């Protein structure tokens, strides 16, 4: 309740003071903008501006001059085209469900596009399933959870997901889209056949690997720098009905990582049974449940794991989270295969936990945790997350220096993800940056802060990056954020010149998504 009544009130009050101090006006936007046909869909009232001034991270505040509520992609085209042809182009940023962390969807002194407005009342028109070709055409503003429910009507489903489904299609495709399915099916950007994109020049372009391929590859994982996704054609496959949801507990990182790598690398073997593989480190003080799946472990399960931690003098336990998809018709076949698989793994004896749930219940598991945090007023608080891709060759060094080092004495508990992916499931021509090794790990430090410990968490994130730099661990940030263009140049590496070329071709006036600050100190 403190977070709800103190932090949230303080944040809103601060924003109101900022608005009053700045005496917000429309002076920075060309007045001709309000003579266009889309003028009735552009709002400048305080409520609209405040609604897009922060994001899920709650780490930054950036107030635009206006918000566009489009009813069609053509409205977005009109706005961008007007800015591009103006003598004083203004910044424009698309915003989906507001789940960026560091203000990436902001447009200070410009216009934020409320992408969700495209889908209001038009879900059926913006999600169109092709049963014969097994793909779906979906608006970039649509939530993945809505896409799931619509495709299931036809017995079909996308193959690759994020762990949280209440994100927009265009949003996740602009960064990559990863979860435990990535090791098997690739990230979400590897499951796209075609896009409709509105570029920074106000051009509406359909693109794929065979048509306008440079734009297609740049936009996927491109953080909104080259165009706004208004439609995506996504691969579908037959949908399962049920899931064996499994967690296997480990006490040492070597066995934990070795078993994960076996599970994602064993093509054609019984070990390939898992459709989903993620790993986590559960700190001792965090053995109280998780918003990502609050109902999985019972109280007695937590008691047993806490006892295991105490007896072995550990700071926590590792666990592999797996999922086996199946239908009613193959239940008899799947059960013995799962038993065989578990017999091949080296988890702590008697520490295998299995639940049987529906396919939808498994995919949407995080939403239940969200609802509980919202009830407690602990959802709209700071989230100083850190997400890295770490090469397999250095994951044990990373574990020693970060999990057993920097974070071992941290008073700020949270979710710690650590699971492997296969590089061959990615298309390296796309914009998302990954390490140059065949197997690399996702490290996700997903923590919720109060005003009292926010700076502690930010400092620990900085220490982790400093440790990697000093140790020579060639990581890549996922959901990247850098304060300087030099940092971005290092992030893109050999792709930097291509990034500049694509920016010059498709957004030469630097209109789109300025919140990433990629070129803020370059020109």
Find residue 283's DSSP bridge partners.
316
Please give the sequence-ordered ranges of beta strands (E in DSSP) within 332-453, or none if there are none: 352-358, 386-391, 415-422, 439-446
- 99 a catalytic residue: yes
Q: Quick check: is 123 catalytic?
A: no
Token pair 């661990």 is found at: 473
**Whose structure tokens read 């017995």?**
155
Q: For this structure, is 252 an active site residue? A: no
Tokens 């953080």 belong to residue: 223
Q: Tell me the angle at which helices 496-506 and 485-492 cross, rounded to the nearest 10 degrees.
A: 110
71-90 exposure pattern, b = at least 16 Cβ within 10 A, e = fewer: eebebbbbbbbbbbeeeebb
**Nearest residue to 491 via CA among 511, 519, 523, 464:** 519
3-state helix, strand, coil in the chain (%, to 5): 40, 20, 35
Provide the 10 A C-beta neighbour count for residue 16. Answer: 12
Annotated catalytic residue within 65, 146, 150, 163: 163
Helix (H, G, I), strand (E, B) or coil at 485: helix
Q: State how beta strands 66-68 and 111-114 pair.
A: parallel
In the set 141, 196, 278, 399, the catalytic residue is 278
- Cα-based torsion angle of the residue sequence 399, 402, 404, 408 in order, rounded to the nearest 10 degrees: -150
Residue pair 217/430 in contact (Cβ under 8 Å)? The answer is yes
Report the b/e string of 322-359 with b at 16+ CB within 10 A.
bbbbbeeeeeeebeeebeebeeebebbeebebeeebeb
Interatomic CA distance for residues 18 and 49, integer angstroms: 12
Is there a contact between 390 and 473 (Cβ–Cβ < 8 Å)?
A: yes
Sign of CA dihedral 218, 431, 170, 31: negative
End-to-end CA distance of the chain: 46
Show the beta-strand stretches assigned E in 81-212. Answer: 92-95, 111-114, 127-130, 135-139, 156-158, 192-199, 204-207
Beta-carbon count within 10 A of 238 CB: 11
Q: Say if residues 62 and 106 touch (Cβ distance below 8 Å).
A: yes
Q: Which of 110, 117, 113 is nearest to 24 (CA)?
A: 110
Print the SS3 string covering 220-253: CCCCCCCEEEEEEEEEEEECCCEEEEEEEEECCH
Q: Name residue 389's beta-bridge partners.
A: 442, 476
Active-site annotation holder among 65, 99, 196, 378 = 99
Q: What is the H or E stretch that residue 281 is in? A: strand 276-283
Which residues form the catalytic set? 99, 163, 278
């Amino acid at each position: 309740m403190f977070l709800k009544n103190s932090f949230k009130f303080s944040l809103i009050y601060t924003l109101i003071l900022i608005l009053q101090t700045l005496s917000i006006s429309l002076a920075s936007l060309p007045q001709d903008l309000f003579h266009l046909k889309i003028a009735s869909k552009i709002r400048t009232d305080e409520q609209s501006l405040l609604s897009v001034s922060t994001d899920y991270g709650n780490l930054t505040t950036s107030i635009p001059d206006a918000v566009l509520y489009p009813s069609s992609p053509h409205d977005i085209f009109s706005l961008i085209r007007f800015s591009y042809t103006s003598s004083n182009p203004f910044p424009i940023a698309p915003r989906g469900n507001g789940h960026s962390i560091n203000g990436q969807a902001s447009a200070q002194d410009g216009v934020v596009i409320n992408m969700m407005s495209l889908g209001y009342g038009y879900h059926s028109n913006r999600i169109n399933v092709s049963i014969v070709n097994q793909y779906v055409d979906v608006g970039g503003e649509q939530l993945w959870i809505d896409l799931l429910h619509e495709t299931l009507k036809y017995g079909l489903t996308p193959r690759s997901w994020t762990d949280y489904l209440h994100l927009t299609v265009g949003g996740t495709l602009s960064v990559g889209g990863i979860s435990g399915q990535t090791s098997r099916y690739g990230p979400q950007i590897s499951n796209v056949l075609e896009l409709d994109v509105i570029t920074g020049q106000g051009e509406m372009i359909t693109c794929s690997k065979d048509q306008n391929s440079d734009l297609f590859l740049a936009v996927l994982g491109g953080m909104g720098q080259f165009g706004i996704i208004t439609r995506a054609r996504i691969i579908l496959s037959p949908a399962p009905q049920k899931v064996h949801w499994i967690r296997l507990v480990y006490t040492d990182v070597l066995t934990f990582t070795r078993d994960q790598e076996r599970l994602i690398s064993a093509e054609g073997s019984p070990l390939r049974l898992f459709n989903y593989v993620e790993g986590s480190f559960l700190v001792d003080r965090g053995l109280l449940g998780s918003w990502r799946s609050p109902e999985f472990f019972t109280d007695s399960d937590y008691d047993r794991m806490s006892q295991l931690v105490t007896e072995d003098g550990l700071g926590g336990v590792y666990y592999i989270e797996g999922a086996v998809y199946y239908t009613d018709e193959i239940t008899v076949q799947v059960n013995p295969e799962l038993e065989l698989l578990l017999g091949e793994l080296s988890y702590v004896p008697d520490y295998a936990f299995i639940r049987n749930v529906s396919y939808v219940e498994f995919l949407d598991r995080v939403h239940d945790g969200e609802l509980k945090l919202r009830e407690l007023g602990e959802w709209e608080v700071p989230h100083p997350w850190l997400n890295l891709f770490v090469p397999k060759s250095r994951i044990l060094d990373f574990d020693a220096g970060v999990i057993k080092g920097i974070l071992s004495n941290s008073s700020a508990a949270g979710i710690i993800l650590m699971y492997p992916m296969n590089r061959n499931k990615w298309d390296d021509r796309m914009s998302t940056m990954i390490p140059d090794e065949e197997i690399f790990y996702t490290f996700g430090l997903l923590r919720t802060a109060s005003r009292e410990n926010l700076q502690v968490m930010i400092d620990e994130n900085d220490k982790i990056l400093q440790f990697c730099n000093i140790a020579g661990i060639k990581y890549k940030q996922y959901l990247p954020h850098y304060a300087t263009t030099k940092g971005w140049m290092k992030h893109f590496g050999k792709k930097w010149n291509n990034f500049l070329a694509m920016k010059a071709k498709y957004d030469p006036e630097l209109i789109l998504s300025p919140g990433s600050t990629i070129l803020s100190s370059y020109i």
